[in-house]
A and B are shown apart, each in its own frame.
Chain A
């Protein structure tokens, strides 16, 4: 062997810390944007920071945070689930009618919502995995199918708050230490999923699948099982979202959750989850959902028109993607430099 080959093994460790910083910076950036927005709005109208107003904000954010968590799991695998709005609607209506007509206990209603969502997710996963249909197309199809089912079941009727048990509505409007139950539940789910994704083998498999599907196949990762798992999780969380929706609003008709899917995708993208899979965290997606909720609540206070609200959300999405590109290019360059330095 030559002199170079017998170089002693000295492990340098710089590149990863730089990358960590960037990733932490990403979450930090979201937090800073949130803080800046809240500060600016409060300056205009001090009541924006009142307990009541914050509670409203968390109520509004709970469902998006929950659904963004599920969506992240799917997006990490290079997928997308456009049917979440319809799944939410279906679950909300079915649990609502179970509660109002049959009078099942609340925990059973929650389980029903989860089961309905999981069933929808199974359909999505099966079409994507066994049918080899691109997720965008598959879930665009089920978006309409599931919504059609809601219309079929509901017809023109709707469920009113007066039909629902009081305990259920209390769960929807109650708070603990000023935090709505719904938001606490969403955050708890997010925490569980976050730990699963970062610390469990099957969670890491999802990143691997999104990062390099071919390599995943070569290394024997059970792609089918993992994909099904991702879509079932996303569906189940959308189903749970339906239960929260019914509990919070009390009134459910066939259009519940209509158009919600794009808000969720927006939250996930703004939260730094790569739309082509392989990188991102549910914490980021949760922060993204929170940021969008703050924007929606703050802009009316700042008397910004509806049109601008949408434009600002759009600009945020573009900014998030631009930032990804920039960070990606910079990290790649930094890694190359480091590799060159290591080779010396």
Chain B
């Protein structure tokens, strides 16, 4: 690991006694009537990667925001190097050496990549003016250290999530952060990108940084972390060395009940092909794509981020027009670029980014759940409310969505419950073909299992399910067939028996089989 070596050579790790670099003790925080944190404890040591796991709503995000200086705790204390401190803002936390990389990168699209890294700390030359050349040089040097190719002088607008995260990491490295907090950094990354990120994190850890790593993926937690803290309902449950606990134990502590199989077993004979895609081409997609999905079958589109998986499903659904090729549902051709036609033919798409594409966050849960069925629920062209309420209540109950009132804004729900509302919205249309793009990104284990069971049940009822997922485990656990995409075309197809982590990754990265 090149990075690790070079960093370790620059900064000697502190061999001193076990005074934690940063610690939270007995921290509590409430928002109105909601207790987000009741009794949180956390100790972060230099040169150690510490995992923080817990279900959504366990209080992990609130904890991070307290560490970042964004919230002030109601009770408890924050310590840096054993000394009690109070952060009166993000600037104070940053000054104490804490860098936080949030789940959704928060960049300035109109500013350049380099400015995003150095905002507020731009190198200055004569008359205190920003030295742009120097700033770009430093940014390029940071990217070199991270082993990535990014143009410092391009606007941040239009970058992939993986690249956006790298910009944030570059920012953290540029201030020599002593504590690096990463909130589900790999949720939006493909396997290779995640590997690259782990290399970077490992290098920083070896150089003495204390890393706090939050993830729902236990394989990552196991591979990367030396210590793990479990949180449940806003309180500390346990902290152990990673090798002293098993994943099953951790999950048991997280959910407070024993863990059932994440992936329900199914044995249905698939029916006739419902969705047929033939030689599909579109802008932004290098190659040509043909495949079909049969009734009762779950087909996964796997591949790296940027391989064109989302582009394919968007063109199938008609959000983006296709340049050539045909899409048929039950043998009937869908017109290009017309989602209404796809919906009328029985196709439903649960998009990748639920906050931006799937939900109207300011509208009520009810409005969101019934949005696509406005016409069929209206009497004489007016929405009466009663039918809407009934439908919304029925579907949210079927998906076991947890909410206060149907009239609450969808934005107030946790990630997993938001996803269920999006699913409710589309399932209420009784689709023949269900396309789900990253159905379980950023949602907790228990909800994940529920979503998986739901998809299985739907397939058992004869729905053709097309799933895009970056989570290999999910692909392997759920899919009857795996289509692996690489650079805009399908690199290969694997059925359930032949699909393994290795075979999928090999197709996705285009590597030859090992000799």
Contacts and interface: CB of A to CB of B under 8 A. Distances in A.
Interface of A: 1-7, 9-16, 19, 195, 199-201, 204-205, 207-208, 210-212, 214-222, 274, 278-279, 331-333, 335-340, 342-344
B75 interface: no
A201 B135 CA distance: 12
18 contacts: A4-B192, A4-B509, A13-B151, A15-B154, A15-B155, A16-B155, A200-B130, A204-B119, A210-B110, A215-B108, A217-B90, A218-B102, A218-B106, A220-B90, A221-B120, A332-B157, A335-B157, A339-B158
A14 B283 CA distance: 20
Interface stretch (B12-20, B140-148, B247-255): B140-148
A222 B157 CA distance: 23
A336 B108 contact: no
Contacts of A219: 90, 106, 119-120
Given A11-B143, A199-B129, A339-B163, A2 B195 contact: yes
Tell me what chain B mostly uses at the interface: helix, strand, loop, or mixed. loop
A14 B155 CA distance: 11
A6 B124 CA distance: 33
B305 to A, nearest CB: 8
B109 to A, nearest CB: 6
Given A3-B511, A5-B199, A201 B122 contact: yes
Nearest to B191: A2
A222 to B, nearest CB: 8
Interface string B101-116: 0100011111110010
B118 to A, nearest CB: 9
A25 to B, nearest CB: 16
A338 B153 CA distance: 14
Given A207-B110, A215-B108, A220-B89, A5 B158 contact: no
A17 to B, nearest CB: 8
B128 A200 contact: yes
Among A12, A333, A335, A343, the one with the most B-chain Cβ atoms within 10 Å of its Cβ is A343
B399 interface: no
Given A201-B121, A220-B94, 15 more contacts: A1-B199, A5-B192, A6-B2, A7-B149, A19-B154, A199-B129, A201-B122, A207-B111, A208-B119, A212-B108, A278-B108, A331-B158, A332-B158, A339-B158, A339-B306
A216 B283 CA distance: 34
Contacts of A217: 70, 90
Contacts of B195: 1-2, 5
A208 B106 CA distance: 11
Contact of A9 (B107, B112, B149, B159): B149
Contacts of A278: 108-110
A212 B121 CA distance: 18
Contacts, number: 143
A338 B155 CA distance: 12
Contact of A208 (B111, B143, B509): B111
A9 B144 contact: yes
Contacts of B112: 16
B361 interface: no
A212 B107 contact: yes
Contacts of B505: 2
Interface in B168-217: 192, 195-196, 199
B150 interface: yes
A204 B107 contact: no
Interface string B79-108: 000000000011100100000101000111
A9 B148 contact: yes
Task: Categorize the interface residue count of chain B.
Answer: 35 or more
Contacts of A208: 108, 111, 115, 119
Contacts of B2: 6
Contact of A11 (B115, B128, B151, B509): B151
Interface in B484-503: 487
A220 B157 contact: no
Contacts of A10: 149
Among A205, A219, A332, the one with the most B-chain Cβ atoms within 10 Å of its Cβ is A219
Contacts of A343: 160, 306
B1 interface: yes
A197 to B, nearest CB: 11
A16 B90 contact: no
A16 B109 contact: no
Contacts of A221: 119-120
B439 to A, nearest CB: 24
Contacts of A333: 283
Among B144, B157, B196, B509, the one with the most A-chain Cβ atoms within 10 Å of its Cβ is B157
A204 B192 contact: no
Contact of B110 (A12, A199, A211): A211
A286 B109 CA distance: 24
B154 A16 contact: yes
Contacts of B102: 218
A314 to B, nearest CB: 27
A3 B196 CA distance: 10
Contacts of A210: 110
Contacts of B284: 336-337, 340
Nearest to B95: A220
A340 B155 CA distance: 16
Nearest to A199: B129
Among B100, B147, B286, the one with the most A-chain Cβ atoms within 10 Å of its Cβ is B147
A211 to B, nearest CB: 4
Contacts of B283: 333
B310 to A, nearest CB: 12
Contacts of B163: 339
Contacts of A205: 119-120
Contact of B130 (A1, A19, A199): A199
A342 to B, nearest CB: 6
Contacts of A19: 154-155
Given A204-B119, A214-B106, A342 B149 contact: yes
A11 B140 contact: yes
B445 to A, nearest CB: 27
B155 A335 contact: yes
B90 A211 contact: no
Contacts of B199: 1, 5
Contacts of B129: 195, 199-200
